[in-house]
Amino acid sequence: FKDKKRAEKRVEELLKQFSDLQENLYAEHRQSLLLVFQAIDTGGKDGAIRKLLTGLNPAGVQARLDDPAKRWKFEPDDLKERKLWDKYQEAFQDALNACSTPSAPWYVIPANHKWARDLAILEIVVAALTEM
């Protein structure tokens, strides 16, 4: 989707499907689904989990710098970590290549736009639950 409003509407539909499918999965007591969220700091993990699963609070380096109420969370090491971006990306690619399998796939989800991130995650999760 390139249209935010349409994507957000689809997210709401998928959230309902996700809830129903999870309820069925739980009731059957035969299978389970493991979701692992991995990203660098401010990569959108907490926001995705809050939106899709549990309500955890997000934390972001940019918000820490821009919002005086959150600046206390900022650590000088946050800026040092940014210099290692290329090395982190290489390590992430190595992990994906080594760990993603047909029976336990890993997905790279762009997190530049929350609405697109949420839609991508829900489409993957709902498809996986439907196949189960």
Q: For 37-54, how does the pLDDT look when each residue is reduced to its tens digit (9 = 90+)?
A: 877 777 777 788 777 764
Q: What is the signed CA dihedral for 8, 13, 19, 23, rounded to 10 degrees?
A: -160
Q: Residue 67: what are its φ and ψ, rounded to 5°?
A: -100, 110
Write the pLDDT tens digit of every residue in 90-105: 998 999 999 999 989 9
User: Can you point out the beta strands (E) in the chain?
Assistant: none
What domains lie within the chain, and their CATH numbers? 4-131 (3.40.50.300)
Highest mean pLDDT, choosing among 21-30, 44-53, 120-129: 120-129
CA 123 to chain centre: 12
Counting Cβ atoms within 10 Å, is residue 129 exposed (0-12), middle (13-18) or buried (19+)?
Answer: middle
Give the pTM: 0.68
Q: E strand or H helix at 119, and its extent?
A: helix 114-131
Higher model confidence: residue 89 or residue 59?
Answer: 89
